[in-house]
A and B are shown apart, each in its own frame.
Chain A
Amino acid sequence: MTNFTLVDGGIVGVYILMTMIAGFAVRKYVGKVEHFLLAGREMNIYLGVASLAATEFGIVTCMYTAQNGYEFGFGGATPGILNAVMMLLVGLTGFCVSRLRNANVTTIPELFDRQFGSRIRWLSGVVIVLGGLLNMGVFLRVGGEFLVTVCGFNEKYLEITMTVLLVAVASYTILGGMLSVLVTDYLQFIVMSGGLLAVTILILYKVGWTNITDAVAAQHGAGGFNPFVHEKLGYSFVVYYALHQLAVVLTWQTTIQRLLAAKNTRTGLKIYTRTSFFFVCRFMIPGLWGMAALAVLGPQFLGTPDSLQAMPKLLSTILPMGLMGVLIAAMLAADMSTDSAYMLTWGSVIYNDILAPFRKKNFSEKRGILWNRMIVGCIGLFLLVYGLWYPLQGNLWNYLAITGTIYLASMSVLLISCCYWKRANSWGAAGAIIAGATIPIAYLVMEQVPATKDLAATIGPYRSGIATYIFAWSAMIVGSLLKPQPKMAIEEVTAV
């Protein structure tokens, strides 16, 4: 039986209509490739804050952070706190990102071209797109499962619902590029935030803070409040996420695209500092929903893939008419903003870095925009096929972190070296890329093969992740030292 009433449908309908109108309305401002990919670098602070926050919170985020809350208690929010700390530090110091924005590039690999050469630029583009698309590949199915569970819809409608949603998002992204993404992100931030806050207050009121903390203490003991003493987390979890979140802040393409779209470097840094605390909210709010599910539904889903469904199951029973519509509108807003930004961002790397060597001469602006639109369309098609058919196994957040690590480890090593180590060169860069991709892929394969499944479980995702960063750095240092190269002033590489 469905929990989704006509009133809820009306709320969702009004939201979708407003978003589509706003998304299509700004397409007339797209006259150049730079408008399509970076909004003409005219984005100011608060539009940047809204866009970054909306982009980095999708249904998939809500699902895995709630799963973390259900599985690990408050300690599951640790990656969010680390993310906020790293973003604040980078925003205050300008570490790497100032040089990146000053260089006026369109993507990170374009900066690498200046120090490591065009082959490394191409290879970096491939790694970024591979890691990014594998990461994004599960968004549609997970989002669809959330909507179906919360609304009580028949599962047979999952594919068609998500296809319609993706076609709607792809339409305005293809036509308006970054401008449509920014304007719709702004609307989506407001709708999403209103929904998240309203549902959290209702959950705290109905379930109660004491019941939540009691359930966490009963199930996880002290580990539910302190990740260092949790049996499934520990020091390796915290160290891995400290490295991972620094890499995210420095190189995650959607974050960097907002830095590069900012009016100037100062604006970009302010977007970082002022959005930083949002990343605590991003983990704490759904985490609380997950812990409330533990208090209400009990520990029956712990340690199983079904733990992903605990939070939606709670919401389907607790939300009254009207608030259900607000929540669905909020979650659709979250998902649409994430999908549009991700399609555009991976598209920008494909166009700017992977296809660049195949362009004999520069495209006209019109032709460049057409190519970008076709690439975004192709990414949409890929998502539809991969996203709706890939069977996810194990913890969703770990899958996202591992696939993200495929590029985050090597790209963060390359970026830091490119900005601050004159001796870094193409040999070191190639070694870091290979090491950074090999270990996470090997781990993913080991998890799937029955003969190595147990070994993968013993190593665990956090140690495997830490090893990836260590090997990527080692490869960069050894490779660069093995290939002596003429000195090149760092100022030339990241010249303003």
Chain B
Amino acid sequence: MTGGIHWFWLGMTIAVLVWYSTITFYVAWRGAVDIKQMLGRLDQLAEEEKRL
């Protein structure tokens, strides 16, 4: 029983390290795209409001 719980926490630790490293790189890439799009959209909306 205790051995099983040890394996559970070892598995959890490995999952944390693998998931977190992967998501860090992925979010670094996709987050930059999101920022660019968000600021572009705000610029566009400001332009449209000026025209109106």
Residues of A within 8 A of B (CB): 26, 29, 31, 35, 39-40, 42-50, 53, 74, 77, 179, 182-183, 186, 189-190, 193-194, 196-197, 200-201, 209, 213, 217, 222, 225-226, 277-278, 280-281, 284-285, 288
In residues 9-47 of chain B, which contact A (Cβ within 8 Å)?
9-10, 12-13, 15-17, 19-21, 23-24, 26-28, 30-35, 37-39, 41-43, 45-46
Q: Which of A29, A189, A190, A196 contacts B42 (CB 8 A)?
A: A29
Q: How large is the interface on B (under 10, 10 to 19, 20 to 34, 35 or more residues)?
A: 20 to 34
Whether B5 sits at the interface, judged by CB under 8 Å, is yes
CA separation between A278 and B10, bound complex, in Å?
17
Q: Are the CB atoms of B34 and A40 closer together than 8 Å?
A: no
Secondary structure of the B side of the interface?
helix
Contacts of B15 in A (CB 8 A): 277, 280
Interface centre among A31, A47, A77 (most CB of B within 10 A): A47
Beyond A50-B31, A200-B17, A222-B2, is A43–B38 a contact (Cβ under 8 Å)? yes
A75: shortest Cβ distance to chain B, in Å? 10
Beyond A42-B42, A200-B17, is A225–B5 a contact (Cβ under 8 Å)? yes
CA separation between A39 and B35, bound complex, in Å?
11
Secondary structure of the A side of the interface?
helix
Q: Are the CB atoms of A46 and B24 closer together than 8 Å?
A: no
Whether B6 sits at the interface, judged by CB under 8 Å, is yes
CA separation between A226 and B4, bound complex, in Å?
11
Contacts of B35 in A (CB 8 A): 47, 182-183, 186
CA separation between A280 and B43, bound complex, in Å?
37
Contacts of B28 in A (CB 8 A): 190
Q: Which 6 A-B pairs rank lowest in CB-CB distance, beginning with the nearest?
A: A46-B30, A47-B34, A44-B34, A193-B24, A225-B5, A46-B31
Beyond A47-B31, A225-B9, is A40–B16 a contact (Cβ under 8 Å)? no
Contacts of B21 in A (CB 8 A): 197
